């Protein structure tokens, strides 16, 4: 897992927790469909199709399409200015739009659908050599990595490499627990506001940290 520092690991865990939170809110609001877990929606689409529940299959397919649009947009934002900050700004904006839209009774579709685009976009936060290096909205890959690294440890390899992917899984799980709890406690979609607050805070912190890291590099004397 190409995370350059413990600071990046912390950011990945916090974003995974936020994604788990939003996914739980979306899952409950949509009645069993996901806004960030497209493997689940793909299985749901197929199952609904085979049982002739065309509306359910269409909903799952629509969510997959929205998530895909988000991944494309995230890939473009990752190449704009400071890519990581740009992706986080875009994701925060979309979650904010979803939160505001959820208060409008005239909206013909669930506002949480906008969050599916945001979750697709969020996966472009960590990009290495043009590829997503750490997907933060789904953790199947993290579980697989943790399992293989446990096997490597048992064979004499690095003892603790499995901890990093396991932490990302745990973060998403904890975020989902919190999202489900607050969805019930806050009476539905108002639960998106805490997620928006977390994303805005993480965006501002990331911008500040990356700006402070860039200033010494820009002002360093080339002769030293």
More confidently predicted of 128 and 71: 71
Q: Is the pLDDT of residue 221 over 60?
A: no
Number of independent structural domains in the chain = 1
Q: Where are the alpha helices (DSSP H) in 102-155?
A: 113-122, 140-154
Residues 23-42 as b/e (b if ≥16 CB within 10 A, e otherwise) read bbbbbbbbeebbbbbbebbe
What Rg value do the Cα atoms of the chain yield, rounded? 19
**Would the pLDDT of 78 be above 50?**
yes
Contact 85, 210 (CB under 8 A): yes
Asked whether residue 162 is domain-assigned, the answer is yes
Q: State percent of the chain over pLDDT 90.
A: 76
> 180: domain range?
11-31+69-207
Rounded to 5 degrees, φ, ψ at 121 are -65, -40
Q: What is the average pLDDT score of the chain? A: 91
Residue 142 lies in a domain: yes
Q: What gap in Å lies between CA 205 and CA 209, rounded to an integer?
A: 6
Give a yes or no: residue 62 inside a domain.
no
Question: Is residue 141 one of the residues assigned to a domain?
Answer: yes
Torsion of CA 153, 124, 8, 112, to 10 degrees: -100
User: Percentage helix, strand, coil, to 5, in the chain?
Assistant: 70, 0, 25
Span 105-159, pLDDT tens digits: 888 889 999 999 999 999 999 887 777 778 899 888 899 999 999 999 999 999 9
193 occurs within a structural domain? yes
55 within some domain: no
Does residue 180 belong to any structural domain of this protein?
yes
Cα–chain-centroid distance for residue 22? 8
| 52 domain residue, yes or no | no
Confidence at residue 6, expressed as pLDDT on a 0 to 100 scale: 85
**C-beta of residue 103 within 8 angstroms of C-beta of residue 110:** no
pLDDT at 217: 54
What is residue 132's three-state secondary structure?
strand
């Amino acid at each position: 897992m190409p995370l350059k520092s413990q600071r990046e690991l912390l950011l990945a865990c916090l974003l995974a927790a936020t994604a788990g939170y939003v996914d739980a809110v979306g899952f409950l609001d949509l009645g069993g469909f996901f806004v960030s877990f497209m493997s689940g929606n793909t299985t749901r689409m197929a199952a609904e199709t085979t049982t002739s529940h065309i509306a359910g299959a269409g909903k799952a397919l629509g969510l997959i399409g929205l998530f895909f649009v988000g991944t494309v947009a995230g890939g473009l934002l990752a190449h704009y200015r400071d890519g990581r900050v740009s992706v986080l700004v875009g994701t925060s904006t979309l979650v904010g739009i979803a939160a505001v839209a959820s208060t409008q009774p005239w909206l013909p579709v669930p506002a949480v659908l906008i969050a599916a685009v945001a979750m697709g976009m969020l996966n472009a936060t960590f990009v290495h050599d043009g590829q997503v290096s750490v997907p933060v909205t789904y953790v199947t890959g993290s579980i697989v990595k943790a399992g293989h690294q446990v096997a490597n440890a048992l064979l004499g390899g690095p003892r603790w490499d499995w901890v990093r992917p396991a932490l990302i899984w745990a973060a998403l799980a904890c975020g989902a627990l919190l999202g489900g709890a607050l969805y019930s406690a806050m009476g539905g979609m108002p639960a998106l506001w805490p997620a928006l607050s977390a994303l805005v805070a993480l965006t501002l912190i990331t911008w500040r940290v990356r700006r402070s890291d860039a200033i010494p590099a820009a002002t360093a004397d080339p002769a030293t």
